[in-house]
Amino acid sequence: MPELPEVETVRSTLAPALAGRRLDRVDILDTRLVRPFEPLAVAGELEGERIDAVERRGKYLIFRFESGRSLLIHLRMTGSLRHAPGGSLADDAHRRAVVRLDDGSDVAYRDVRRFGTWLLLEPGELEPYFAKRLGAEPLDHGFTAKRLGERLAGRRAPIKAALLDQRTLAGMGNIYADEALWRARIHPLRPAGALAPDEVNRVHAGVRQALKAGIARQGATLRDYATPDGRRGRMQLEFKAYGRGGEPCERCGTPIERTRVAGRGTWYCPHCQRLP
């Protein structure tokens, strides 16, 4: 559920508080979080590491350590992180890990569905890990409409499915794909490779606008997502298409419709986003 704007909000909230801090104590309370590795072994490896930077790539959160190692955190469906003074967080049956930092504060990881993962990578392993799995960062300067067009060329999959493919673009998910295509006025079932250049330009702009809107509102809280200081995101209050079935399109007044694309609930305006 957390997509690029949610993970970026987590990153930007944690980064100033965690940079330079050492992991004094690590408790991993759920074997699923680090499998196939042993929680005690992973915790032992993490203890003593000092955080150099907190970064993001796609939907992954990265704790970069001074040693050159990295801890890769993927929140998947329902993962979230809280940062608070040590011992100040209430008991939580869904807490899966706690890290005590050298300033006495805690970083607690909560995950109801337990699909989230923590993976410790050795120096040099991070870039190859991402190279196999992730395409361009949609908010990078180097990500142009031309590059998006190259990624979509020849693909018969619906444009929405192409946007959900992390190797096309890193960080898009079901919410922001619908929001991007509404902005682009492109039907989610259009074959990705059949878009005209001006339509690719619109998708490119729509993706960036939707993601920036999400970041500006600190993400969307539908169920579990919260910022590391415990606040809700506000993007859900400003969705243009996602989850708005039957409500009027903000541009034309036509009721938003729901369909399924790539197995995912998909919302669009049948007037603004037409199939040719």
Q: What is the dihedral of CA 169, 172, 176, 182, to 10 degrees?
A: 30
Rank residues 82 and 244 by Cβ distance to Zn ion and give the closer one: 244
For the bound state, the minimum distance from the C-beta of residue 197 to Zn ion, rounded and expressed in Å, comes to 23
Among 251, 260, 265, 274, binds Zn ion (CB under 5 A): 251
Clarify whether 2 is annotated catalytic: yes
For the bound state, the minimum distance from the C-beta of residue 269 to Zn ion, rounded and expressed in Å, comes to 3
> Per rule CB under 5 A, is residue 40 in the interface with Zn ion?
no
Q: Which residues pair with 178 in a beta bridge?
A: none
Rank residues 75 and 249 by Cβ distance to Zn ion and give the closer one: 249
For the bound state, the minimum distance from the C-beta of residue 201 to Zn ion, rounded and expressed in Å, comes to 19
- Catalytic residue of the set 59, 100, 110, 151: 59
Helix H segments across 28-167? 31-34, 39-46, 126-133, 145-152, 159-164
Q: For tokens 């590491």, what's the residue?
A: 49
**In the range 114-133, which residues lie near Zn ion by CB under 5 A?**
none
Binding-site size, Zn ion (CB under 5 A): 7
Distance CA 101, CA 107 (A): 8
User: Exposed, middle or buried, 253 (CB in 10 Å: 0-12/13-18/19+)?
Assistant: exposed
Rank residues 113 and 251 by Cβ distance to Zn ion and give the closer one: 251
Our separate counts of H helices and E strands in the chain read 8, 10
Q: For tokens 């992973």, what's the residue?
A: 42
> Per rule CB under 5 A, is residue 272 in the interface with Zn ion?
yes
Q: Which residues contact 196 (CB under 8 A, 6 or more apart)?
A: none
Q: Point out which span in 143-151, 205-213, 220-228, 253-261 binds Zn ion (CB under 5 A).
A: 253-261
Distance CA 1, CA 204 (A): 22
Clarify whether 3 is annotated catalytic: yes
CB 182 within 8 A of CB 176: no
For the bound state, the minimum distance from the C-beta of residue 180 to Zn ion, rounded and expressed in Å, comes to 15
- Give the per-residue contact string, 210-249, with Zn ion (x = CB under 5 A; - = no): ---------------------------------------x
Rank residues 41 and 252 by Cβ distance to Zn ion and give the closer one: 252
Amino acid letter, 86? G
Write out the residues near Zn ion by the rule CB under 5 A. Answer: 249, 251-252, 254, 269, 271-272
